Amino acid sequence: MALRHLSQIELAARWNISHRTLERWRWTGEGPKFIKLGGRVIYRLEDIEAFEAEQVRGSEAEPQRPMSA
């Protein structure tokens, strides 16, 4: 099983955000888990996907409406 890793630039492009946002998130303890090898920061694809799944929001506050047939 090959692990897939993304660099900070690749992840920023995936999410269409600035790579500086990822840097800030690492500094403040937000964002997905990351690996630091020397001066290089990489993100495991499984950690990225887990973080994305945690961010899914629903509209639980809205009452459920029955679907019309």
pLDDT of residue 43: 97
Residues 6+ apart with CB under 8 A from 25: 31
pTM of the model: 0.76
**Residue 42 · residue 10 · CB < 8 Å:** no
Gap between the Cα atoms of 4 and 17, Å rounded: 20
Mean pLDDT score, 5-26: 96
**How many domains does one find in the chain?**
1
And the tokens for 33? Answer: 């888990």
Does 68 reside within a domain? no
Does 14 reside within a domain? yes
pLDDT of residue 46: 95
And the tokens for 6? Answer: 């993304």
Does 59 reside within a domain? no
Residue 57 pLDDT level (bands cut at 50, 70, 90):
confident
Give yes or no for residue 63 having a pLDDT over 80: no
Query: What is the chain's length?
Result: 69
Does 63 reside within a domain? no
User: What pLDDT, in 10s, does the model give residues 19-54?
Assistant: 999 999 999 999 999 999 999 999 999 999 999 999
And the tokens for 31? Answer: 């964002």
